[in-house]
Structure 1
């Protein structure tokens, strides 16, 4: 199952700098492992925002839910999920 996921991050300005750095490092490692596994297929930065647009390829809604809740930055995110289907005009389909 493919999902487009928009993640907007809003880390509190008063968060301890050490906690901030550690959380961001853990987020990067977690996301890169998911990318290597093929579950996090694409990630793009949204220009001018602390946001990304990503595509996930997972087995179920529950798996995506668990992945998103496991993000170290999850407590500081607003997330919008859109299920995707193959487009009939896609030449690669």
Structure 2
């Protein structure tokens, strides 16, 4: 199944900057692992925000939840998920 996932990251303003940087670096590495595994197909930054829109390819919503919960910044994320399906006008 394909899912569009919009993620907004909101860390507390008083959070230690070094901890935020470490979590961000770990987040990048985890995202790369999921991309190489073919689970995280696309990721686009939303300009002007600490946010992204992504496309995931997973077996079901349960797998998507499991993957998202492994992201180091997960505790600070607002996540909106939309299930996608083939459109009859698509040439793919």
TM-score, length basis structure 2? 0.96
Query: Which residues in structure 2 correspond to 1:59-78 (within 5 Å)?
Result: 59-78=59-78
Question: What's 1:48 paired with?
Answer: 48
CA–CA distance in structure 2, aligned partners of residues 90 and 73 of structure 1:
35
5+ residue gaps in structure 2? Answer: none
Q: Deviations over 1:8-53 (max 9, x none)?
A: 1111121112211110011000001101111000000111111100
CA RMSD of aligned residues (A): 0.7
Question: What's 1:22 paired with?
Answer: 22
Tell me the CA shift for residue 60 of structure 1: 1.5
CA–CA distance in structure 1, aligned partners of residues 69 and 91 of structure 2:
34
5+ residue gaps in structure 1? Answer: none
Query: Which residues in structure 2 correspond to 1:69-88 (within 5 Å)?
Result: 69-88=69-88
CA–CA distance in structure 2, aligned partners of residues 17 and 9 of structure 1:
15
Aligned residues: 92
CA–CA distance in structure 2, aligned partners of residues 30 and 13 of structure 1:
24
